[in-house]
Amino acid sequence: MPVEKLLRGVSRFGKQLYPKHQDLFKRLAHSQHPEALFITCADSRIDPCLLTQTLPGQLFICRVIGNVVPPYPDAPGGVSATIEYAVGVLRVPEVIICGHTDCGVIRGAVNPQAVAAYPQVKTWLRYTEIEHSEVEPNPELLLQLTERNVLTQLEHLRSHPAVAARLEDGRVGLYGWVYHIAAGRITMYDEAMGTWEPVQETDAVAP
């Protein structure tokens, strides 16, 4: 994608979109009160705000390959700092970890030789806790591993002190999602049932 295309987009934003939401951006210039921390993969096929139909200021977004959350205090860094800031400082009431179908990180975790030339990626994949296999996984198995990875990252998330403290007083909710790219739908983990269920369609619209 030539940078000129991006620059044309910036120009259209300034001329067409910004004027329509000028009051919103002026309010956001002074403070933010996001409604959720949304942790998802850096994959280019995922647009959290498009997917959830949210406006600027409503989501605090953390994007990292494999939607991985290292357990505390194993890997201090950007992901851990983002969680601490969103949950501890901004006091978001919800945290969502969203995986997706056809995830390259899941494929790499199953077959680490495919990423052997990329040591940082290979090291990062250990946080998926997925065992490698000599057999090429089929789509059904990949989906199962994707779902398992989301649940693993939720467990890691609970180990972070800022999250643990908010969970103890019941002031934060944790949710696991999987985005099915081809179908354009979300499944959400039902902890009580131990199953993944489609998000029910509603007539609600974004504010």
Domain ranges of the chain: 1-31, 32-198
What local confidence, expressed as pLDDT, does residue 67 receive? 98
What local confidence, expressed as pLDDT, does residue 202 receive? 61
Residue 141 Cα distances to 41, 79, 100, 102, 160, angstroms: 19, 27, 13, 11, 29
Q: What is the H or E stretch that residue 179 is in?
A: strand 173-180
pLDDT band for position 206 (cuts 50, 70, 90) = very low
Strands 185-190 and 94-100: unpaired
Q: What is the mean pLDDT of the chain?
A: 94
What local confidence, expressed as pLDDT, does residue 1 receive? 66
Neighbouring-strand partners of residue 39? 62, 97
Taking residues 65-92, what's their average pLDDT?
96
Tell me the CA end-to-end span of the chain in Å, nearest whole number.
32
CATH code reported for the domain at 32-198: 3.40.1050.10
Residue pLDDT, tens place only, 99-112: 999 999 999 999 99
- Does residue 76 register a pLDDT over 90? no
- Does residue 205 register a pLDDT over 80? no
Taking residues 59-82, what's their average pLDDT?
96
